[in-house]
Amino acid sequence: MSQDAIVAGGAEAPVVLITGATGPLGHAATARFARDRARLVLVGTDLGRLNAFAAEAQLPEDRLLLVAADLRDREAARSMADQTTARFGRIDVLVHAVGGWAGGTRVVELDPDEVRRMLDNHLWTTLHVAAAVVPGMVERGFGRVLAVSSPLAANPGARGASYAIAKSAEEVVLRSLAKETAGTGVTANLLIVKAIATADQKGTPPEELAEALAYLASPAAGSITGQRIAVGG
């Protein structure tokens, strides 16, 4: 998405809402959309970490909103969306980058609480955020809903069922949403990545994922919806 790639609804810079903004992908996505002078809404559970990141990244205050919210709570997600529309008037792009992993246990030994935690992180946050932001996108005739999933959602391995269950559920939400918003100007897509590179882990550089997100967020990608797009081999 370039600076002159203006979304439907006016000539103002697009409004990009990034959840999980203090994680590696959140950092990379923020930097990528900031290059296009997007108005950014950064969401995380710790306002101190959000403020520290925004200061380090030197993000301009007139194009920035920081929101501390536990998106496992439906009302918190609604409040986040309300704060965004009160500040910027709309939400054009949702990058849902809330993370969390659990594994190492056989199916027959799974702790139900572990499965619930994974569902809270991946299913319920996705459902709550989508319910909060998508109706406004449909009303305005433009929107992009983007999330990152794992190959394990479609091809689970051993000792990772709780995570795979939750990511599968998240994928169902977004692919169903793509069907329900077909023809409205709103799209929903998933990037599939085995692992995101960090200082301690090999994987796909988050900057590569951010470039893919930027393209899918652009008006040029309006015909792409309901897709699982593998990034990083």
233 pLDDT band, cuts 50/70/90, is low
- Answer yes or no: is 4 within a domain: no
- The 10s digit of each residue's pLDDT in 173-222 is 999 999 999 999 999 999 999 999 988 889 999 999 999 999 999 999 99
Name the strands in the sheet holding 186-192, side by side, starting at the edge strand that comes first in the sequence.
Answer: 64-68, 39-44, 15-19, 93-96, 143-149, 186-192, 228-230
Residue of 30 and 5 predicted with greater confidence: 30
Q: Is the pLDDT of residue 5 over 80?
A: no
Range of the domain at 105: 15-230
Residue of 232 and 222 predicted with greater confidence: 222
Answer left, alpha or beta for residue 218, where phi above 0 means left and psi between -120 and 50 means alpha. Answer: beta
Q: Is the pLDDT of residue 7 over 60?
A: no
Given this model, what pLDDT does residue 222 score? 97
**Contact present, 223 and 185 (Cβ < 8 Å):** no
d(CA 2, CA 103): 39
- What CATH number corresponds to the domain at position 173? 3.40.50.720
Given this model, what pLDDT does residue 99 score? 86
d(CA 188, CA 175): 7
- Answer yes or no: is 2 within a domain: no
- Answer yes or no: is 190 within a domain: yes
Q: Is the pLDDT of residue 1 over 80?
A: no
Helix (H, G, I), strand (E, B) or coil at 18: strand
Long-range own/partner contacts, residues 4-7 (CB < 8 A, 24 or more apart): 5/36, 5/218, 5/219, 5/220, 6/219, 7/92, 7/142, 7/219
**Contact present, 81 and 10 (Cβ < 8 Å):** no
In the chain, the number of structural domains is 1
Helix (H, G, I), strand (E, B) or coil at 32: helix
- Answer yes or no: is 43 within a domain: yes
Q: How is residue 121 written in tokens?
A: 């992180």
- The 10s digit of each residue's pLDDT in 86-134 is 999 999 999 999 988 888 899 999 999 999 999 999 999 999 999 999 9
- Answer yes or no: is 146 within a domain: yes
Q: Is the pLDDT of residue 27 over 80?
A: yes
d(CA 62, CA 3): 17
Q: What backbone torsions phi and psi does residue 152 show, to the nearest 5 degrees?
A: -65, -20
Closest by Cα among 131, 39, 124 to 86? 39
Q: What is the pLDDT averaged over residues 13-36?
A: 97
Given this model, what pLDDT does residue 83 score? 98
- Answer yes or no: is 7 within a domain: no
- The 10s digit of each residue's pLDDT in 38-74 is 999 999 999 999 999 999 999 999 999 999 999 999 9
Given this model, what pLDDT does residue 10 score? 45
Q: Is the pLDDT of residue 4 over 60?
A: no
Q: What backbone torsions phi and psi does residue 41 show, to the nearest 5 degrees?
A: -115, 110
d(CA 216, CA 123): 22
Given this model, what pLDDT does residue 122 score? 97
Given this model, what pLDDT does residue 103 score? 84
Q: Is the pLDDT of residue 2 over 60?
A: no
- The 10s digit of each residue's pLDDT in 126-159 is 999 999 999 999 999 999 999 999 999 999 999 9
